[in-house]
Structure 1
Amino acid sequence: MIKHQPFMIKGIQIYAEDYTYEKGYIKVVDGFIKEVGDVKELSSIDSLNFDEVFIPDGCSLLPGMIDIHIHGAAGTDTMDATFEAIEKMANALPHEGTTSFLATTMTQSEQAIEDALKNVTNYMKQSEGNGQAEVLGIHLEGPFINEKRNGAQPAEYITEPSLDLFKKWQEVAEGNIKLVTLAPERPGGIDLVKYLKETNVVASIGHSDATYEEVNTAILAGASHVTHLFNGMNSLHHRKPGVPGAALLRDELYVEIIADGIHVCPEMMDLAYRLKTKNKLILITDSIRAKGLTEGTYELGGQQVTVTETGATLENGTLAGSVVKMSDALQNFKKVTSCSMRDLIDMTSVNPAKQLNLFDRKGSIAEGKDADLVVMNKDLEVVFTYCRGKLAYKKGENRT
């Protein structure tokens, strides 16, 4: 970690881990939070060695957001398998308040997935992390999924869940696969779920046609997550609750929501919020390389994707990821639910950090944690983003 001049922000509303300071202060040293408290308790003598950052009136300080499901942004994709692709993503994401993420793969050939895993791992070892969103690991989405619910995942590369293949890939990734989306109802699915649980990898049910009973079996085996709720799964039926019914009813499961207003309608977002509450919801983007670019035609897993104002779709009309930003997802979710700012922080920072077992250093504003910080104005627009104490984005400046 490159050392930087200690700095301080004061006189701002701060959503700290256990308390909201209406006029608080925060001190950052060498990329970590040194102190946080009420500005009335701030010692002028102790503050002499800190550069003061001036923040516009009416802003609030939040913990950096964590996107655990993102394929690409700024013209690049995890499957590009190049250092430059991951670096572009890491540079672009602070613009939307994202300070760390899981680089997400998709269903492709074994070699293409292996190349992507090697590349992300090499990036994690080589990146200096100087003012960029941090890659926390890899989300392996597919190829262990159900062809009936493949969505934009290329069907020709789908394979049955394989313990041997996963072990090989995890070795290639040097243990950096942190979350796996799979269909537990497929042959070998439950065995893989058990192994993931044993090795502290999050087993997520997704692109699945599982029955309610099969989801319950997967939970007993160790599944604790559901990939993009309502998308890539069977429908909620009054006699066949399926994956969404189990996701909503079983407290053991965290659920992801793509809050772009396209993948899930407002009423279903509100339903998920009321049933799962802030404690078990995680907002994601599931974004593709087209995020941050103009409308047009792009590539996703060797497929042509058309991006318009109504979303990203394959030639057959199937939704193919999103172009939503985390800051927009936060705004969208707030508009359609009764959630508070604290709830939004849980869904964008606290919950993903806890699910990845990283809450000791990520996900909240507390002394000793990484200084992943986002300053938002009253309209919930990102004004400043700090990644591990380094300014990564300032509104009005282009830092990509």
Structure 2
Amino acid sequence: MEWAIKSSQIVFPDEVKSGYLVISNERIQGFYSSYQGKIIDYTDQIIMPGFIDIHIHGWGRGSFSHKGSSGALSRMSKDLVHTGTTAYLATSGAMANDFLEYSLAQAADYIESATPDNGAEVVGIHMEGPYINSEYLGMQSADSLQLLSISGFDKFNQIARGHIRSMTLAPELEGGLELTKYLRKQNITVAAGHTAATFDEITRAIKEADLNHFTHSYSAMRGFHHRELGVVGALMYYQDVFAEVAKQTGITIKPEAFDILYRLKTDNKMVLTTDCVGFADFPAGSEFYHYLRKQKFKTQENGYLRLENSDGSYSEIDTSNYEAIKNLEMSFLESVQAVFPRLDNGLLSVARIASENPAYLAGISARKGSLNSGKDADILVLDNQLNLLQVYCRGIKQI
């Protein structure tokens, strides 16, 4: 079936055009100034490529990193479309090895069986750990860290049936350069994260091993000093490597810190992510203290999530109700809305840092990341205040 979207604001990589975006068999067939056939009229709305989140552990009613199941991914996929996310990398954490291997197998099962009706597409796996530095754990688990190993990675990727697309590691650890080289030769993105590396150690990883990305810039990494530039100094200094920034709440990093990095990286090398975890889908009986928000999350046996504040007050939320839990974390769309006024090229910047760059790092540029001909029909319809009106995943209407 062939049909077209009509709009005066269709966002392509280099310009915003007025006309018709034609979709056929789940893909974008082309752009035309006129069209005869079935048309959906979004004349005054913004049409842009779906967001791609390459670092997300959970969202809404699903938490892949804490449940590790295909069911968690299914719930995430259905809920993520409400945030403008149409594709993502299922992101693991530093968990017990048996659980991690189970998670990788479950992700592979889901990737190979899900359809556009499921919502946002899982396009691969991002392993955040277990090859990270205990000095910069963040919210990771110290007792689940492992020694860096090519054979260990090969086992993980065999279990994942080749679906690992990205790995966050600490390149200064023993074996870090060798593993980074090995992964990059397979076109797997390697990101420095949870790392105590010096500037010189990151330099070697970039120049000798082709390290090409940084996970949640500023956070969980050696900071900047004028005599030891650290990881933060390296990600700023080297212009040809990508840097991701997570949730633009002003809590994780200050808006000014985003602006400094954006001025250095520009649209070319900046990547938006969320790093969300999906609090509502933690196993029953779990407790989690969020050191930035100063809140304790307790998952109840009755299906409710209890939020305890530092002043002793608390609230309880039904974890099966997406509307009730969607504000527990900042969504991809909300981050876009927060940074949009400060971007250099408006909608073109959004398309680059939220869609095109993430698609490249996930290794899926051939079919996602823009509205060019031949790409999957992953499409957002927004109003001029960037509120989400409609989402299409591979041509299938979602909301």
TM-score bracket, shorter-length normalisation: 0.7 to 0.9
Equivalent in 41, 44, 47 of residue 61 of structure 1: 47
Q: 1:265 aligns with which of 254, 276, 283?
A: 254
Instruction: Show CA shifts across 1:206-239 (max 9, x none).
Output: 0001000000111121210100000111111111
Question: Quick check: 1:164 aligned with 2:151?
Answer: yes
Task: Quote how far apart the aligned CAs of 1:268 are.
Answer: 0.3
Greater shift after overlay, 125-134 or 304-313? Answer: 304-313
SS at match of 1:118: helix
CA deviation after TM superposition for structure 1 residue 75, in Å: 2.6
1:35 to 21, 26, 30: 30
Q: Does residue 113 of structure 2 align to residue 126 of structure 1?
A: yes
Contact kept in structure 1, 2:7 and 2:44, CA below 8 Å = no
Following the alignment from structure 1 to structure 2, what is the Cα–Cα distance between the partners of residues 214 and 261?
30
RMSD value, Cα: 2.4
Q: Percent identity?
A: 32
Q: Are the counterparts in 2 of residues 33 and 366 from structure 1 also a CA contact under 8 Å?
A: yes
Deviation of residue 337 (structure 1)?
Answer: 4.8
Residue identity opposite 1:238 in structure 2? H
Could you say what secondary structure the match of 1:95 adopts? helix
User: Deviation of residue 25 (structure 1)?
Assistant: 1.2
Alpha-carbon shift at residue 302 of structure 1 (Å): 9.2
Shift of residue 338 of structure 1? Answer: 4.6
Question: CA distance change for structure 1 residues 36 and 301 in 2, over 3 Å: closer, same or farther?
Answer: farther
TM-score scaled by structure 2?
A: 0.87
Letter in 2 for 1:8: A
Conservation of the 8 A alpha-carbon contact between 1:99 and 1:134: yes
Distance 1:382 1:191, change over 3 A: same
Q: After TM superposition, give the deviation of residue 30 of structure 1 in Å.
A: 1.1
Out of 186, 195, 198, the position equivalent to 1:208 is: 195
Aligned counterpart for 1:359 among listed residues 362, 365, 371: 365
Q: Work out whether residues 140 and 180 of structure 1, in 8 Å CA contact, stay in contact via their aligned partners in 2.
A: yes
Distance 1:108 1:378 in 2: 42
Of 220, 237, 245 in structure 1, the residue corresponding to residue 225 of structure 2 is 237
Would you say how many aligned residue pairs link Structure 1 and Structure 2? 369
Question: 1:329 deviation in Å?
Answer: 0.8
Any conservation in 1 of the 2:192–2:214 contact (CA below 8 Å)?
Answer: yes
Structure 1 residues 23-32 or 241-250, which shifts more? 23-32
Counterpart contact for 1:153–1:301, Cα < 8 Å: no
Question: Structure 1 residue 309: deviation in Å?
Answer: 11
CA contact (8 A) 2:7 2:47 kept: no
Instruction: Pick the aligned partner of 1:347 from 330, 336, 353.
Output: 353
Once the two structures are overlaid, the 10-residue window that deviates more, 268-277 or 325-334, is 325-334
Does the aligned pair in 2 maintain the 1:154–1:301 contact within 8 Å? no
1:81-100 alignment, distance < 5 Å: 81-100=68-87
SS at match of 1:233: coil
Q: 1-side partners of 2:45 and 2:377: how far apart?
A: 18
TM-score (norm 1): 0.87
**Which ranges of structure 1 fall in alignment gaps of 5 or more residues?**
394-400
Residue 252 of structure 1 aligns with an amino acid whose one-letter code is D
Secondary structure of the residue aligned to 2:116 is: coil
Map of 1:15 onto structure 2: 11
- Which of 17, 25, 30 is residue 20 of structure 2 equivalent to? 25
In terms of mean alpha carbon deviation, does 116-125 or 336-345 score higher?
336-345
